[in-house]
Amino acid sequence: MPETEWPLWEVFVRGKRGLNHVHVGSLHAADDEMAVRHARDVYTRRNEGVSIWVVRSTDVTASSPDEKDPMFAPSGDKVYRHPTFYAIPDDVPHM
Amino acid sequence: MTTLQEQFDATVAHSDRIEPRDWMPEGYRKTLVRQIAQHAHSEIIGMQPEGNWLTRAPSLRRKAILLAKVQDEAGHGLYLYSACETLGVSRLELTEMLLAGAQKYSSIFNYPTLSYADVGTIGWLVDGAAICNQVPLCRTSYGPYGRAMVRICKEESFHQRQGYELLTTMMRGTDEQRAMVQESVDRFWWPALMMFGPPDADSPNTVQSMEWGIKRNTNDDLRQRFVDMSVPQAEALGVTLPDPALRWNDERGHHDFGEPDWEEFMAVVKGNGPCNAQRIAHRRRAHDDGAWVREAALAFAERSAEESRA
Amino acid sequence: MAHPTPDPNDDGGSVYDGLLEHHEVAGDDSQWAFGTDFEDPLAGMDTTVPDDVDAAELATYCLLLGDDALVLSQRLAEWSSNAPDLEEDIALSNIALDLLGQARLLLARAAAADPAVVPALPEGSPAPVEDALAFFRDAADFRCTRFVEGPNGDFAQTIARLLLFATVRLAAFERLGDHADPVLAAIAAKGVKELTYHRDFAGRWFLTLAQGTEESRRRLLAGLAQVWPLYPELAEAYDVGPEVDVVLDQVFAVSGVERPEAGRRVGGEHHTEALSRLLAEMQSVARAHPLGVW
């Protein structure tokens, strides 16, 4: 059976009080609790006092009329060309 | 009404960024996936040669520095895999392509680390060459890639400084330590020059990559820049770079230097470097040994989700 | 890190231009882990031993705590590039770095409290005391418990050992916060935050593996059985009792794991065979260059 990967999460960090949470990157984790812990390890080096949000990438609904690809037209609300919603051509990507 | 292709071309021409949901030519996407994946794999495989000295670092401070550095590399690989994932390829797929030999990583990591001085030389020369390669990529046309590179380059400059600082410290030490530094530089200089890839004349993809704004400089440009940077650093350090042809050229305003052994380069790229098999076997073992852990975490997450629904 | 980066000779200016101005992420100036930017961990601290504290006893106790941290850090660092996924690789390195930081502070404290514990080095050796203690002491002089010495085993065994270790050490450090030696008290206060995280990390994985798949549960139970016989020795060395059992019993209960009944292993007055091998590797470069500067 082919391996299933831990799902992808988007990480938002608020450096200090008074600021907005800012998207800093993504990571893989099996569940939300693990995602928060990973975010702390990967993106803040466990700097305490940093507030972290994590969101499943597939749970983000996107709208950016400026970015144009008919690929996204039918269900044009996804953030990424992620495998979950984007079929990969067979010939990707050899040297 | 402009076509998608025209919009794409205009965005790149204005040095604006392409973002994941933009239309992009399939060739652009493929080239990006190949290049970003190669970067990511290089960071992850690159943990091994330095990690080789983690348990033997000769002072507790050096141990902390090295461990933090190797950890940074895991982070860099993670950022780059993430950038690649915005293009529709998963980290698992990329890892499998690396293990299958379908994607490459930097040839430099197929050379062995034979003394503690190599930790310093890798910081100075290898991370230095990586910085030359990577700083222009902070302005690359693909947004997620550029953003990952900004973060990475910042950390890399720390890495280069710690490597150079280790070497200067060792040069202040014993005769054996100085000899160790020179021997290490002798081994890594030429492979470091090869890190910029084959000469422009033999690098067919460069022109297209530059038109797309994926690449910002040619291999030979960057190699020259690296040599010009490294010569004064070597002098300050008190080591000799192992190239009899190396000299300042007043007319060109650059250093002339000898030709790397491109046959050796091709052999290493094709899998016959000193450590290719070892590096991939190590990565495969870690990946395979971890499978049951990754699976267990997924099973646990599924069970918890079911329980909270019930 | 004092070396200024020379300017490359190209018209476009330095390739480093603007590099250090990017502060995209909060907390980014904590670029390097604790301990990478100093040579004397106790610099600036008053290391005078208070009158009511026995200096030799204090030094011995700091060596126990420091050696345990050093040896387990060395073991956890072996996971680098070998962990089940990148995120766990980074997490285990963080823990190894925390313990290494604790080791440096504690070894330095031991040396300052009682210089007699520091081995004599060849004349002219520039090694700081923390390195003299870490790299030039023989296995028999290490004070670590056998609990931390053995190989990691698989991920499950590593988690089982880390859970027990972090739980015991956290309980001890919480108590040390009001130790009569203010230096040790300060070291412990810093360590409490770190150990709390280590315990949570290990506890969460313990539960995950126990409740994950049949395979993960089998491995976890095997790993726990492997480390358990040396556990009483650890608890005794740290002088902890029921408060630790309460925590462990909670983790065991929620994980559906029975507290092992394996007996206590005898022979605690000596080290394991594993320690001298671990030290032979760790000390090899330093000892080959006793006059070297690093």
Question: Per-domain residue ranges for chain A?
Answer: 8-85
**Would you say residue A19 has pLDDT above 80?**
yes
Instruction: Report the residue from C26, C91, C200 with minimal CB separation from A16.
Output: C26
Distance (Å) from the alpha carbon of B182 to chain C's nearest alpha carbon: 16
Report how far residue C233's alpha carbon sits from residue C217's, in angstroms, rounded to the nearest whole number: 26
CATH number of the domain bearing residue B68 = 1.20.1260.10
**Would you say residue B64 has pLDDT above 70?**
yes
Residue C13's pLDDT band, with cuts at 50, 70 and 90, is very low
Q: Which residue has the higher pLDDT, B140 or C28?
A: B140
Find out whether A26 and B80 touch, Cβ atoms under 8 Å.
Answer: no
Q: Dump pLDDT digits (tens) for C18-33.
A: 333 333 333 344 445 5
Question: Chain A contact for B37, CB < 8 A?
Answer: yes
**Interval C251-275 mean pLDDT:** 92
Q: In terms of residue numbers, what domain contains B169? A: 1-309
Average pLDDT, chain A: 76
Residue A95's pLDDT band, with cuts at 50, 70 and 90, is very low
DSSP lists the bridge partners of residue B142 as B18
What's the predicted TM-score (pTM) here?
A: 0.91
Residue B75's pLDDT band, with cuts at 50, 70 and 90, is very high
Q: Using the beta-carbon criterion (under 8 Å), do C26 and A28 form an inter-chain contact? A: no
Question: Chain C contact for A12, CB < 8 A?
Answer: no
List all chains that touch chain A, counting a touch as 3 or more CB pairs closer than 8 Å: B, C
Percentage of chain B with pLDDT > 90? 79
Q: Using the beta-carbon criterion (under 8 Å), do B228 and C8 form an inter-chain contact? A: yes
pLDDT at A81: 62
Of B1-5, B72-76, C220-224, C279-283, the poorest mean pLDDT is in B1-5
Distance (Å) from the alpha carbon of A59 to chain C's nearest alpha carbon: 21
Chain C: residue whose CA lies nearest to B116: C285
Neighbouring residues of B14: CB distance < 8 A, sequence distance ≥ 6 = none
Q: Using the beta-carbon criterion (under 8 Å), do C87 and A42 form an inter-chain contact? A: yes
**Would you say residue A4 has pLDDT above 90?**
no
Instruction: Report the residue from A16, A28, A50 with minimal CB separation from C85.
Output: A28
DSSP lists the bridge partners of residue A13 as A22, A52
- Angstrom CA distances, C147 to B35, B70, B237, C138, stand at 46, 27, 44, 18
Phi/psi for C114 (5° steps) reads: -145, 90
Phi/psi for C226 (5° steps) reads: -65, -40
Q: Dump pLDDT digits (tens) for A36-60.
A: 999 999 988 656 668 999 999 989 8
Report how far residue C9's alpha carbon sits from residue C26's, in angstroms, rounded to the nearest whole number: 33
Q: Using the beta-carbon criterion (under 8 Å), do C84 and B293 form an inter-chain contact? A: yes
Give the burial class of B203: count Cβ atoms within 10 A of its Cβ; 0-12 exposed, 13-18 middle, 19 or more buried. Answer: middle
**Interval A25-40 mean pLDDT:** 95
**Would you say residue C275 has pLDDT above 70?**
yes
Report how far residue C26's alpha carbon sits from residue A63's, in angstroms, rounded to the nearest whole number: 27
pLDDT at A49: 65
> Which chain A residues touch B21 with a CB distance below 8 Å?
62, 64, 67-69, 72, 78-81
Q: Using the beta-carbon criterion (under 8 Å), do B292 and C213 form an inter-chain contact? A: yes
**Would you say residue C16 has pLDDT above 60?**
no
Percentage of chain A with pLDDT > 90? 40
pLDDT at C241: 85
Specify the residue for token string 């009682």. C114
Residue B158's pLDDT band, with cuts at 50, 70 and 90, is confident
Report how far residue B212's alpha carbon sits from residue B11's, in angstroms, rounded to the nearest whole number: 10
Where are the domains positioned within chain C?
55-275
> In terms of Cα–Cα distance, which of B220, B295, B307, B225 is closest to B259?
B220
Of A87-91, B55-59, B131-135, C187-191, the poorest mean pLDDT is in A87-91
Find out whether B108 and B149 touch, Cβ atoms under 8 Å.
Answer: no
**Would you say residue A86 has pLDDT above 50?**
no
Distance (Å) from the alpha carbon of A17 to chain B's nearest alpha carbon: 23
Question: Chain B contact for A42, CB < 8 A?
Answer: yes
Question: Chain B contact for A9, CB < 8 A?
Answer: no
Q: Which amino acid would we find at residue C285?
A: V
pLDDT at A67: 64
Instruction: Report the residue from C24, C27, C87 with minimal CB separation from A45.
Output: C27
Average pLDDT, chain B: 94
Please tell me the CATH superfamily of domain A8-85, with its number. Answer: Phenylacetic acid degradation B (3.10.20.520)
pLDDT at C5: 37
ipTM for the complex shown? 0.94
Neighbouring residues of B81: CB distance < 8 A, sequence distance ≥ 6 = B37, B40, B91, B94, C86
**Would you say residue A93 has pLDDT above 50?**
no
**Would you say residue A10 has pLDDT above 50?**
yes
- How many independent structural domains does chain B possess? 1
Find out whether C172 and C239 touch, Cβ atoms under 8 Å.
Answer: yes
C55-275 belongs to which CATH class? Answer: mainly alpha
Mutation target to probe the A interface, by most A beta carbons within 10 A, among C80, C85, C159 is C85
Q: Dump pLDDT digits (tens) for C88-147.
A: 999 999 999 999 999 999 999 999 999 999 999 989 999 999 999 999 999 999 999 999
Q: Dump pLDDT digits (tens) for B210-250.
A: 888 887 788 999 999 999 999 999 999 999 999 999 999 99
